[in-house]
Each structure stands twice: as C-alpha cells, then as structure tokens.
Amino acid sequence: MDVIRNSGKRDVLTTLEGVNIKVRKGEVLGLLGPNGAGKSTLIKILCTLILPTEGNAYVNGYDVVKEGQKARESLGFITTDERSFYWRLSGRENLQFFATLHNLPQTIVKAKVEEILDVVHLKNRADEPFLNYSAGMKQRMAIARGLLNDPTVLFMDEPTRSLDPGAAKNLRDFIKEHIVGERGKTVFISTHQLDEAEQLCDRVAILDEGRIKAQGSPTELKESLSEGSTLCDVFSSYTDKAFLEESSSQAPFMLGRERRQGRGLGMKRKGY
Ligand SMILES: Nc1ncnc2c1ncn2[C@@H]1O[C@H](COP(=O)(O)OP(=O)(O)OP(=O)(O)O)[C@@H](O)[C@H]1O
Ligand SMILES: [Mg+2]
C-alpha cells in the first residue's frame, strides 16, 4: 500500500545521463564500468526492455522507442540470467520454444535450432534438461538463443561471467572469429575483464555513474595517458573519484563528434 500511495514520492536515481555512443557496423564495442555504473540499464534500453526517460537511441537505424518491433527484429540479447530458460526442458526444446516466439514457421524453427546447436557445440547434449548443464554450457545456450533470429546487432551483458578462463577464451574466439569474422555481426558487450576488452574490442567506452567518461580504441585510450599506461590505468583514471575531483575542470577524453551531440540518453529509475 505504501508503494502504491507514495508512488510519486519515491526517490529518483539518475542512472544514465547524456550518454552518446556510436557503434559502427561490424565493430565490437566494449562497455566498461564499475558495479552500478549503468551498463545493464543502457543495454536494456537498447534492447527495448525498458524505456529511457529522455534521449533517442537507434539499433540498426531503428528508434528503440518508436520502432521497437523493427529494432527487436534486428537485435539479439545475450545475458547471464539463467532463470530465463526453462530448467526442466532440454536445450533443444528451450531453443525451439524461443525460436517459435520469433514467429518462425515450425519447419524453419527445427532447422534453425539444429544449425545453431551445431554452431555452439551443444548438439550431443541437446536432449538433456537445461538444469544438467554446466555454467559454460548455459552460457552457450544463451548465445544460441541470441542468434536464433539472425540479428544484425548482438548485445551481450557480461557474457563471460562465471566462465572458467578456458571457456571464456573459447567464447572470445567464437565472438571474434565466428560472430564478427564470418557472420559480420556488430557486437555491443559489457565486461569487467579489462584484458578481455583489450583482446576483443575495436573500441571501448568507460561508463561511470551513468556518464561516459572516455571512449576510443584501447590503444587511443592508453595513449591519452602517460607512456606505458595499461587499460587498467585508463579505467582507474576515469572512474576513480579522487582523480575526478582533482581534475574536474578537465573535459573527459572523448573522440570524434560525440561530445557535441546534445544530451544523449538518460534514465531515471524510481527506487523500490
Ligand atoms: N529495476 C531497478 N529499479 C531501480 N533501480 C535499479 C534497477 N536496476 C538497476 N537499478 C539501479 O541502477 C543503477 C545502475 O544499475 P545497472 O544494473 O545498470 O549497473 P551495472 O553497470 O550493470 O552494474 P554491474 O556491473 O553490477 O552489473 C544502480 O544504481 C542500480 O541500483
Ligand atoms: Mg550489469
């Protein structure tokens, strides 16, 4: 009752402010930022799962608010949320279910699922219930689901979380060689692994407290600091509060025209 009666009085938290990012076709963009920076919120807006309170965003040219359906047809969303699968259904049944939700005819659904099971190397375990799968297999299932509608742009929210180093490397190779190299997809990926961002991403954006603090290729960002700086130095420079207070008069490092492009995306969340 308190939530209903006082819905207008809840505290408002600005989760994203003035976010401007452009991702080119066939590029891998890495989104870095500390916990609570707003990475998942930004990805959810771009995937049309939540609405921004201000600003515009386009996926494959489609406005995520006004042309949500078209944007959804162009994108795949890969998250580590295992609860979004049906644990008692097999891997194959899960994928057939999610492929059906994309409105594909049943004959195409079956063929598509077999093709994708092959791609993620899960064909020989496809009839086991999802609950039997290891974390790495569940993650591959999430990727398989994200590929079902053959999207142009793939959004991945911390896809290597809970993977062992070998499985994480396999996934990085898979993204680089298969998803980007062979299929020519555009990838928007959030990660906490700086070495992963360095190996995988053409460009990275550093998000902190809802604002983009820096963006550019890993090399450009490192060169923006003193010689011999690592991506870790870049990350702590742009996200460390002490550093930001000392250098608050300095404009954050940004490349291209992004800084002049208005207010960008914003998101205000109402507290629980
Ligand atoms: N459903 C929600 N309702 C209200 N506030 C939320 C909700 N989800 C997230 N937030 C808040 O929005 C802010 C950004 O959260 P978000 O999940 O986008 O961060 P993140 O960068 O993905 O963090 P992490 O690295 O921990 O995944 C946080 O302060 C969080 O508490
Ligand atoms: Mg997150």
Render pLDDT for 58-101 as a digit per residue (tens, 0 to 9): 999 999 999 999 999 999 999 877 788 999 999 999 999 999 99
Choose one of 14, 32, 39, 157 to mutate for the ligand 1 pocket test, by most ligand atoms within 8 angstroms of C-beta.
39
Distance CA 133, CA 136 (A): 8
Q: Taking the alpha carbons of 76, 80, 84, 88 in that order, is the dihedral positive or negative? A: positive
**Separation of 157 CA from ligand 2 center, angstroms?**
7
Render pLDDT for 119-136 as a digit per residue (tens, 0 to 9): 888 999 999 999 999 888
What mean pLDDT, rounded, does the chain reach?
A: 87
Alpha helices in the chain (DSSP H): 2-5, 39-46, 68-74, 91-101, 106-119, 135-147, 165-173, 194-200, 218-223, 231-239, 241-246
Q: Is 95 exposed, middle or buried (0-12, 13-18, 19+ CB in 10 A)?
A: buried
Q: Which element (helix H / strand E) includes 16?
A: strand 12-19
Distance CA 262, CA 168 (A): 37
Nearest protein Cα to ligand 1, atom 12: 15
Q: Is 77 exposed, middle or buried (0-12, 13-18, 19+ CB in 10 A)?
A: buried
Site of tokens 């954006």: 205
What confidence score (pLDDT) does residue 142 get? 93
What confidence score (pLDDT) does residue 237 get? 87
What the block records as the tokens of 94 is: 């899960």
**Separation of 106 CA from ligand 2 center, angstroms?**
34
What confidence score (pLDDT) does residue 64 get? 96
Could you give the angle at the alpha carbon of 236 between the alpha carbons of 154 and 56, nearest 5°?
A: 40
What confidence score (pLDDT) does residue 178 get? 87
Average pLDDT on 148-153 reads 94
> Of the candidates 90, 118, 231, which has an alpha carbon nearest to the alpha carbon of residue 174?
118
Is residue 118 pLDDT above 80, yes or no?
Answer: yes
Render pLDDT for 178-191 as a digit per residue (tens, 0 to 9): 899 998 999 999 99
**Separation of 74 CA from ligand 2 center, angstroms?**
22
What confidence score (pLDDT) does residue 249 get? 42
**Separation of 190 CA from ligand 1 center, angstroms?**
13
Is residue 258 pLDDT above 60, yes or no?
Answer: no
For residue 233, name the pLDDT band (cuts at 50, 70, 90): confident
Average pLDDT on 241-262 reads 46
What confidence score (pLDDT) does residue 169 get? 87
Q: What is the DSSP string of 152-175?
A: SEEEEESTTTT--HHHHHHHHHII
Residues near ligand 1 (Cβ within 6 A): 13, 15, 33, 35-41, 269, 271
Render pLDDT for 5-27 as a digit per residue (tens, 0 to 9): 776 677 788 999 999 999 999 99
Could you give the angle at the alpha carbon of 103 between the alpha carbons of 101 and 106, nearest 5°?
A: 95
